[in-house]
Amino acid sequence: MNTYDIIVVGAGPAGLTAALYALRANKKVLVLEAKSYGGQIVNAKVVENYPGILSISGYDFAKNLYEQVSNLGGEVRYETVLKVEEDKTVLTNKDKYFGKAIILATGVSYRHLNIDRESKFVGKGVSYCATCDGNFYKNKIVAVNGGGNTALEDALYLSDIASEVYLIHRREEFRGESTYVEQIKNKKNIHLILNATIKSLNGTDKLESITVQKEGGEEEIQVDGLFIAIGQDPKNEIFTNVVDLNEKGYILSEDGVHTKTEGIYVAGDTRVKTLRQLTTAVSDGSLAATTAIMEMSQKA
């Protein structure tokens, strides 16, 4: 069986940062990734809220981080993890590995509307993260789709940046907290469109308008940006033998690093946390790796 000091599951910003810190500590590291490196950040056309970097594309940020890991001798294998055992054996669709420590950094996937042109307009008017991309829409017109806390928070956040915010929800009542609903109703530049769904995204090279299906027919709304906030999906079911999950499927950790199983750590958006940003992902990755290294040395 192939043996490593640290196995990282997931090659997003949290996972690659964990690998980077472990490699700089002279550890033998394997990163396992089911699809491609970079995680959600690769979809960001421009990143301008990362400290010390004025502006960079999400793809370039991910590529630079991947190259740092590769240049230090990190091994990245594109395999699907099927199971992690308590003894820190990792079974994939291709092989079996053993790590002295495991870091779970599988991230999340944003739920999509699954309508035409949605993927085409990502980074060109369509976004899944208001705090990431909101500043690009200063004094412009935007829409938010969703009815939970994230959608309500996004609408409030964007109302201080954009000139007009349309909040579109498929029901009459919001699922989010009533305090947010009251704040929204007191915001003059937030317009509620209830009992409605987005039928189409319109534009040539970028998003120019959305067509909304509601009672009484369709309405076309001119917008510069659409923020889709209908939820995220962590993929942690296969880890339930070694970690505890909350009701939404996120990994529970009392300190944001340790799981219920000794030697198995968590980092990034896949864990329960209040803020899911690039900065918090790399912070999680560096902390998880540093903690794992320290605890490994204590046992040596």
Residue 209: give its domain's CATH number.
Answer: 3.50.50.60
Per-residue DSSP letter, 245: B
Note whether 260 and 283 are same-domain residues: yes
Note whether 103 and 9 are same-domain residues: yes
Is residue 287 assigned to a domain? Answer: yes
Is residue 121 assigned to a domain? Answer: no
Tokens read off for 285: 């990755």
- Strands (DSSP E) found in 158-260: 164-168, 190-193, 196-202, 209-214, 217-222, 225-228, 232-234
Domain end among 228, 263, 286: 228
Is residue 250 assigned to a domain? Answer: yes
Q: What is the pTM of this model?
A: 0.80
Q: b/e string for 129-139 if b means 16 or more Cβ within 10 A?
A: bbebbbebbee
What is the predicted pLDDT for the residue at 152? 95
Is residue 257 assigned to a domain? Answer: yes
Is residue 115 assigned to a domain? Answer: no
Note whether 221 and 245 are same-domain residues: no
DSSP symbols for 250-290? PBP-SSSSB-SSTTEEE-STTB--S---HHHHHHHHHHHHH
What is the predicted pLDDT for the residue at 138? 97
What is the predicted pLDDT for the residue at 154? 94
Tokens read off for 176: 């989010």
3-state secondary structure of 160: coil
Q: Which of 5, 60, 129, 233 is catalytic?
A: 129
Tokens read off for 110: 């944003």
Q: Using H for helix, E for strand and C for coil, what is the string for 85-142?
A: CCCCEEEECCCEEEEEEEEECCCEEECCCCCCCCCCCECCCEECCHHHHHHHHCCCEE
CA–CA gap between residue 218 and residue 221 (Å, rounded):
10
Domain end among 177, 210, 228: 228
Tally of domains in the chain:
2
Note whether 133 and 170 are same-domain residues: yes
- What residues make up the domain containing 262? 2-110+232-299
3-state secondary structure of 167: strand
What is the predicted pLDDT for the residue at 40? 84
Q: Which of 60, 116, 133, 205 is catalytic?
A: 133
Task: Write 294-300 long-range contacts (CB < 8 A, 24+).
Answer: 295/101, 295/263, 296/5, 296/100, 296/101
> Does residue 175 contact residue 152 with C-beta atoms inside 8 Å?
no
Note whether 104 and 237 are same-domain residues: yes
What is the predicted pLDDT for the residue at 100? 97
Which of 42, 55, 104 has its CA nearest to residue 266?
A: 104
Give the CA angle between residues 198, 200, 203 to the nearest 5°: 130
What is the predicted pLDDT for the residue at 104? 98
What is the predicted pLDDT for the residue at 45? 75
pLDDT tens digits in sequence order for the chain, 300 residues long: 799 999 999 999 999 999 999 999 999 999 999 999 999 888 777 888 899 999 999 999 999 999 999 999 999 999 999 999 999 999 999 999 999 999 999 999 889 999 999 999 999 999 998 988 999 999 999 999 999 988 999 999 999 999 999 999 999 999 988 999 999 999 999 999 999 999 999 999 999 999 999 988 999 999 999 999 998 899 899 999 999 999 999 999 999 999 999 999 999 999 999 888 999 999 999 999 999 999 999 987
Residues ≥6 apart with Cβ < 8 Å to 40: 12, 107, 108, 109, 110, 128, 129, 269
What is the predicted pLDDT for the residue at 1? 73
Which of 83, 106, 86 has its CA nearest to residue 96?
A: 83
Q: What is the distance, to the nearest Å, from the Cα of residue 25 to the centroid of all Cα atoms in its chain?
A: 27
Q: Is 205 a catalytic residue?
A: no
Q: Which of 132, 154, 224, 284 is catalytic?
A: 132
Q: How far is CA 180 from CA 90, 143, 149, 193, in A?
A: 43, 17, 8, 16
Note whether 100 and 236 are same-domain residues: yes
Q: Is 133 a catalytic residue?
A: yes
What is the predicted pLDDT for the residue at 226? 98
Q: Is 95 a catalytic residue?
A: no
